[in-house]
Structure 1
Amino acid sequence: MIVWGLNEPGECAMIVEETENGKEVGKVDYMTHTLFGVAIYGALKKTDMDVKTKWAFFGASVGSSVIPDIDIQWARAGADYLMSHRGITHSFLMVPVWAGMFSLLAWLFFRVKDRRLFWTAFAGVLLHIVSDWTNAWGTGLLEPFTSRRYAIGIIPNKGYVFWAMAAAIVPFLLLFRGEKQRTRLFRVFWGLAALYAGFQIAHSAYVYADLKNDGFDRVAIRADRYPGGLSYYAKKDLEVVEGRHEVGGANGVVREHRIDPVDVEALMLDPSARSLLLFAPFVVTQDLGDEIRVFDPRFSGRVSMLSVNIPKA
C-alpha cells in the first residue's frame, strides 16, 4: 500500500511501503513512475494557476503516471501474473480513457476545467506505457486486440539512473525557491532523461544491427541498471546465444542454448506455456524426456514464472 503525506503540491511527498510477511509489496518501477509524475508537474508552467488548479494538475500528473499499474491489485491474486499485469490497463487504447477520467476528477474534486489537464494526464499515461515497453518485461500495447507482450529492453526495469538524476537536482530545488527557477530545474531533469534514453537507444541499435548482420533472425536486449552495458539474446535456426556488450569493456557470447524442436500448437494448450509464449519475444524449448522445458532466455530460467515444465502427452 502506498501512503502519501503532502503539504503543498510538489513540495513535500513521502512514500511509505507497507510489507506483508517481510516482503515488499511495492515495486521500484512503480515508484519511478511516481517520480515521473512529480517531474511532469514540476515542469509545468504554473505562474497563472491558483491553489486549486495546482492541486488539480498535481493529481492529474501523478495519478496518470501510476494509474496503469492499478492492475497489480488483481494480478497479485491471480495465477497468471504474466498476462494479468501490464495488460489492458497498459494499452494505447486506454490512454485517452485514463486522461479523460482525470479531467473529470479534476472537475468533481476541484471544480477546475482546463483542456491542459487532459493533455497533462495524456502525457503521464503515455509515458508510463512507453517506459514499460522499453524494459525487458514489456507491456500489452495492443490489448485487447492481441494479448502478446511487447518489449524492447533498452531501459532497465529498475529506475536507478532516473533517481540519481533526481537526487542531483534536489539540492538546487532546496536552494532556489522561485517558481520559474524550479520549473527550469525539472525541465533539466527531463533533458537529462532524454539524453540517457538517447544513449540507450543508440547503444541498443548498434548491437541489434550488428547481430542482424551476423544472420540472427530474432534479437532481444536487456539493459543493465547503469548505462554502458547490456545483455543480448539472439536466435538463429535452433540456437540461441546470450552475450554481453559493454562500452569500452568486454564483449562476446557468454552462453549458448540449443533448441529442441517441439509442437508449439500443443504447447499453447497449456495455460502456463501459452502465457510464456505470449510474454517472451522467443523461447528456448528443451526435451527432458518425460517433459518439455520452456523458458525465456533473457532470464536464463532464473525467474520461476518464466520457466515451465510441461509433461508430454
Structure 2
Amino acid sequence: MDTVTHALIGLVLYKSIQTENLSRESKRALLFTAVAGSEIPDIDVVSQLWDRGGEYLMWHRGITHSVFLVPLWALLLAALSWLFWRIFDKRIFWLGMLAVFVHITADIFNPWGTGYWEPFSEMRVAIGTVPIIDLVVWALILAGFLLARFGKKPAHLVFRAVACLIVLQFASQTVQGLAIKESAMSRYDQVVLAADFQPGTYKVIGKKGGQVDIVRTSLWAEPVLLHQLTSAEEADLQPLFEQNPEARTLAKWAPMVVVEDTPQRLAIYDPRFFDRGGSFLFESMEK
C-alpha cells in the first residue's frame, strides 16, 4: 500500500482502542506505536542512498517486510515509547505487533509484493488483487471519521467496524481476482494479476511462449485486450546483466518479464506496470 494508506490504517488501529480513561502519555505512546508501526517497514527506502549494485528492487519491501521481524519491530517501538514517555504497557508491544503485521501483510496483496519469508526465501509474495492505492479503503476510513465525529456510537466501536470492513474489502478483491486468474490459467503458460483502481477490475497478464497479453477484466464484464506484446525469449541476456546490474535484479525480482531485442537495444521490463507504451520498471543497454 502507499504511505498515506498505511498511516490511515495506523490511525484506525489507534482509534479502535478505548482510550477515554488513559493518561495523556499513554495515549501518545499508543498513537505513536500505531502510526509508526504502520510505517516503519518502509524505512528500507533509505537503501537507495547506498545502492551501487542495482539491488534496490530486492531491498525495498525486502527483509524489513519479513514476518519474522514483526516481534523485533514491536520491541523497538515499545522501547521508544519507554524512552519518550516512560510508558511500560504490554498493550504497546501487542499494538506494535499488530500494526507491523498489518502493514507487511497488506503489501502482499499488491502487485509489487514483499519479501514476506526473508531471510529464508527470496521469493516475492505478490498476489496482485488489491491496488497500491485502494480508494474503497480510503472511503471506508473517511466514513469512519465522519461517523465518529457526528454519530452517537463510541469512536472505538466505529473504527473496529471500519477495520472489519477493510478486511472484507481485501477478501472480496482477492476472491474475485483469484477466480479470474484461475479461469485464465488454461489459456497461458504463466498468469499474473495487477488490480486496477476500479474495484473488482483487474489486469490479467498472460504469457504463452513469446506472446504476452494484457487484458482488463472483471467477473461482470467481458475481457478487453489492452496490449499484445512480443517477448524475445531466445535472446541472450548475459551482456545486459553485465552492463546493467539493475536488469539482473529486475529479472530475479519480477514474476514475469518481457524481453525486447532489436538492432538498437536489448531490454527487459515488467509487463504488470505496462502503460502508454512502456513500463516504469524497464532496464536496457544500447547495442
**TM-score category, normalised to shorter length:** 0.7 to 0.9
Aligned pairs for 1:256-275 within 5 A: 256-260=228-232, 261-264=234-237, 267-269=240-242, 270-275=244-249
Partner of 2:86: 111
Distance in 2, matches of 1:257 and 1:242, equals 8
Deviation at 1:130, TM superposition (A): 1.5
Partner of 1:253: 225
Shift of the 72–306 alpha-carbon distance from structure 1 to 2, 3 Å rule, reads same
Is 1:53 aligned to 2:14, yes or no?
A: no
Q: Once the two structures are superposed, what CA deviation does each residue of 1:115-149 show, in whole Å capped at 9, x if it has no partner?
A: 22212111111111122221112222233445553
Aligned pairs for 1:120-159 within 5 A: 120-159=95-134
Letter in 2 for 1:160: L
> Is this contact kept in 1: 2:274–2:280, CA < 8 A?
no
Partner of 2:165: 192
How many percent identity over aligned positions? 33
Letter in 2 for 1:211: A
Letter in 1 for 2:256: F
Deviation at 1:168, TM superposition (A): 1.7
Partner of 1:6: none
User: Which fold has the larger relative contact order, with Cα–Cα distance below 8 Å and residues 6 or more apart in sequence?
Assistant: 2
Q: Secondary structure at the match of 2:283?
A: strand
User: How many aligned positions are there?
Assistant: 282
Q: Which ranges in structure 1 are unaligned for 5 or more consecutive residues?
A: 1-27
Distance in 2, matches of 1:286 and 1:303, equals 11
Distance in 1, matches of 2:48 and 2:106, equals 20
> Is this contact kept in 1: 2:191–2:205, CA < 8 A?
yes
Partner of 2:185: 212
TM-score normalised over the length of structure 1: 0.81
Is 1:173 aligned to 2:154, yes or no?
A: no
Larger mean Cα displacement after TM superposition, 65-74 or 246-255 = 246-255
Partner of 1:16: none
Q: Secondary structure at the match of 1:155?
A: coil
Letter in 2 for 1:85: H
Alignment match of 2:64 (pick from 68, 89, 105): 89
Larger mean Cα displacement after TM superposition, 135-144 or 224-233 = 135-144
Partner of 2:270: 296
Larger mean Cα displacement after TM superposition, 216-225 or 58-67 = 216-225
Distance in 1, matches of 2:249 and 2:94, equals 34
> Is this contact kept in 2: 1:149–1:278, CA < 8 A?
no
What is the root-mean-square deviation of aligned Cα atoms in Å? Answer: 2.4
Q: Secondary structure at the match of 1:251?
A: strand
Aligned pairs for 1:9-88 within 5 A: 29-46=2-19, 49-75=22-48, 78=51, 80=54, 81-88=56-63
Distance in 2, matches of 1:265 and 1:111, equals 56
TM-score normalised over the length of structure 2: 0.88
Letter in 2 for 1:30: T
Q: Once the two structures are superposed, what CA deviation does each residue of 1:187-234 show, in whole Å capped at 9, x if it has no partner?
A: 1111221221111011111111101133x2321111111312111101
Distance in 1, matches of 2:73 and 2:65, equals 10
Partner of 1:234: 206
Letter in 1 for 2:202: L
Distance in 2, matches of 1:126 and 1:176, equals 30
Letter in 1 for 2:201: G
> Is this contact kept in 1: 2:206–2:214, CA < 8 A?
yes
Distance in 2, matches of 1:177 and 1:73, equals 44
Deviation at 1:76, TM superposition (A): 6.3
Shift of the 268–166 alpha-carbon distance from structure 1 to 2, 3 Å rule, reads same
Q: Once the two structures are superposed, what CA deviation does each residue of 1:100-123 show, in whole Å capped at 9, x if it has no partner?
A: 101111222222222222121111
